[in-house]
Structure 1
Amino acid sequence: MIRHSVRALCAASLVIAPVALAAAPAHAQTTCTVNGVSVGPDSTGVVNGTTGNDYIVCATVESGTTVNGLAGDDTIVVNGPVLGHVTGGPGRDYVSASSVGAGGLVEGSPDSDYIVVSGTVSPGGIVRGNTGNDYLRVDTNNGTTNGGDGFDVCRVRTGNNPSINCEL
């Protein structure tokens, strides 16, 4: 009797294992804290700050997700890759990210902003200051680093693509 039970369990595991291995992998979800409160994207895929000064920290920003500081002088820190969209919104913002992947966008606002990417901007990734006098610092630029309108300072350590619309 025990031998038959063991055989049945072994046979069941041979049937179930391939089904479990064929299941779709779990996708990471953007999770952030806004002024110390944990939030995820709303139904449209947006994580918003407030109309005041914000401190926003995200693990990653996944494709299809936008992190928007809204108005105020915001600090936005993304500890992982940006595959979606990060924007400071109106105000003098500080935005930092570990990297910007293909299709990812990190941008300032109409005001003067400070944007830092400590890793690589991949082909198809964009870092943009927009209007205002911005400071952009990128470690490796293989995508697009664009100061935008205004007097912009762009510092790119290495990479295949030069920065554009930068006065210094």
Structure 2
Amino acid sequence: MDRAELGKIIKDARIAKKMTQSEVVGTFITRNMLSQIESGVAVPSIKTLEYLSRKLDISIQMLSPQNKSDMVTAVSGNFESIRQAKKCYKEGKFDEAAELVKPYLDENSEFFDEACAIYTMSALAYAGKNDADPQTACSYAREALRYSEKGFYACREWKVEAICLIERLS
């Protein structure tokens, strides 16, 4: 089963139960993450699949990959997005790197820690560019501040840098 098929099953089950995305997610995941799962952009963790299975009253088997190779393909796709984001960062394409990891900024994402680090570093680098639009740069600096203390790779220096950038750009 691919991402799109999984997303369709989840969306169809939600609609059949006449539930909004907000009603389904509660406080377990964000509505944005559910939207990305339903549209096939993000692949949910096993924990998220178990939660959705209970909430939508459908069998976990309906949401599970048909075989191990499907799961490997899904994880590989996520890993490839992270790898591509790192490549963009190294090439100075900071806004692209930040966009690539956005689907993984949900705390239940398998790659949450890596996404927070890459997003924060990319947002700070973009905000610090001389040619960046000041309003957009300030927005990126605020986002960097938001994620600077999250995840395994949280870094106090990033927080300080974000605060300094916000003050300079405001």
**TM-score bucket (shorter structure):** under 0.3
Q: RCO higher in 1 or 2 (8 Å CA, sep ≥ 6)? A: 2
Structure number having the greater helix percentage: 2
Bigger strand fraction: 1
Q: Give the TM-score normalised by structure 2.
A: 0.26
